[in-house]
Amino acid sequence: MSDSERITRRRLSDEVFDRLRALIASGELGVGDAVPSERELMDRFGVGRPAIRQAMQALSNMGLIAISHGERARVCDLTAETLFRQIDLPAQMMLSSSPRSLEQLLETRVFFERGMARIAAERATPDDLVLLRGWVNRQRAAIDDIGVFIRHDMRLHIEIGRISGNPIFLATSQALLGWLRQYHTEMLHWSGNENLTLAEHDGIVAAIAAHDPAGAEAAMVRHLHRSSTLYVHTHLDAPGGPRRSR
């Protein structure tokens, strides 16, 4: 008998989880709908309260339902942004513990944002360009406030992703930058490259405004390759402070 043919015993909470997930996937429980009460679920599935609570917590951890104290749990509206949010903490822990993971994420960012720059150059409207220039100007005005400077830096890159009109692209941009946020501050504070960063941002926006996809991509790649070398990796247990990522 092969392993695939063996019958395995499962926890009751796993069975409840599967049944509730099926109700959500089928649409029987739609976005915003209240999940039946614990008592109703206990009677419906013939299980005890612990199995119901464990299944509900698992659904909450996946972002499928929202549990509020004193209220019925409700089915969440799943979006690319909420899905990425589920892995924020594991991603940050992975980066903190592995220099190689940081290098891989930086490589992923270059691959992703060069495409976003091309799309932005193809699709940017006059209103989009006003927004992009506005974020560069806000960043320039905040050159002496590193915290604000970094927030505006990240917002500019997110706005470039937003121009695509694709919510998955936008959520990916937000996630990548969020995972790198802890390294941004150290990079800019110690490098003294704020003016160079601004000049590179001006060049990216100028290429997008000229509707030059190749030029926008090249400008973005130059910017990210230069800035990637300035990121530092801080190990959770490393003596002697931060290390350069490469």
55 and 104, same domain (yes or no): no
Q: What is the pLDDT of residues 122-139, one digit of tens each?
A: 999 999 999 999 999 999
Cα 9–13–15 angle (5° rounding)? 60
* Phi–psi pair at 34, nearest 5 degrees: -80, 135
Share of the chain above pLDDT 70, in %: 85
pLDDT given for residue 111 in this prediction? 96
Contacts of 4 (CB under 8 A, 6+ apart): none
CA proximity to 220, closest of 89, 104, 119, 86: 119
72 and 88, same domain (yes or no): no
146 and 206, same domain (yes or no): yes
pLDDT given for residue 211 in this prediction? 98
Determine the Cα–Cα distance for residues 76 and 65; give it in Å rounded to an integer.
5
Single residue among 77, 102, 130 that ends a domain in this structure: 77
107 and 194, same domain (yes or no): yes
Q: Cβ-count burial of 46 within 10 angstroms (0-12 exposed, 13-18 middle, 19+ buried)?
A: exposed
Is the CB of residue 35 less than 8 Å from the CB of residue 75?
Answer: yes
Q: What is the pLDDT of residues 106-126, one digit of tens each?
A: 899 999 999 999 999 999 999
Q: Which amino acid is at 149?
A: F
Which neighbouring-strand residues pair with 65? Answer: 75
Is the CB of residue 140 less than 8 Å from the CB of residue 164?
Answer: no
pLDDT given for residue 3 in this prediction? 54
Write the Ramachandran bin of 168: left for phi over 0, alpha for psi from -120 to 50, otherwise beta: alpha
CB atoms inside a 10 Å sphere around CB 83: 14
Is the CB of residue 245 less than 8 Å from the CB of residue 231?
Answer: yes
Tokens, residue 208: 């997008």
Q: What is the pLDDT of residues 184-215, one digit of tens each?
A: 555 555 567 889 999 999 999 999 999 999 99
98 and 167, same domain (yes or no): yes
19 and 93, same domain (yes or no): no
Is the CB of residue 174 less than 8 Å from the CB of residue 87?
Answer: no
User: For residue 94, what pLDDT band results from cuts at 50, 70 and 90?
Assistant: confident
Residue 99 has pLDDT above 60, yes or no: yes
What DSSP assignment string belongs to 182-232?
A: HHHHHHHHHH--HHHHHHHHHHHHHHHHTT-HHHHHHHHHHHHHHHHTT-E
Residue in the block written with tokens 């005890």? 48
Q: What is the pLDDT of residues 153-195, one digit of tens each?
A: 999 999 999 999 999 999 999 888 888 876 655 555 556 788 9
Residue 242 has pLDDT above 70, yes or no: no
Share of the chain above pLDDT 90, in %: 49
pLDDT given for residue 141 in this prediction? 96
Tokens, residue 159: 């706005």
pLDDT given for residue 62 in this prediction? 80
Domain residues for 66? 3-77
202 and 137, same domain (yes or no): yes
Single residue among 50, 77, 104 that ends a domain in this structure: 77
CATH code where residue 182 lies: 1.20.120.530
90 and 67, same domain (yes or no): no
Residue 240 has pLDDT above 50, yes or no: no
162 and 57, same domain (yes or no): no
52 and 102, same domain (yes or no): no
Determine the Cα–Cα distance for residues 231 and 96; give it in Å rounded to an integer.
12
Tokens, residue 170: 């936008």
Determine the Cα–Cα distance for residues 61 and 83; give it in Å rounded to an integer.
11
Q: What are the DSSP E strand ranges found in the chain?
A: 65-66, 74-75, 232-233, 243-244
* Structural domain count of the chain: 2
* 31 vs 214: which has the higher pLDDT: 214
pLDDT given for residue 229 in this prediction? 76
Single residue among 77, 93, 117 that ends a domain in this structure: 77
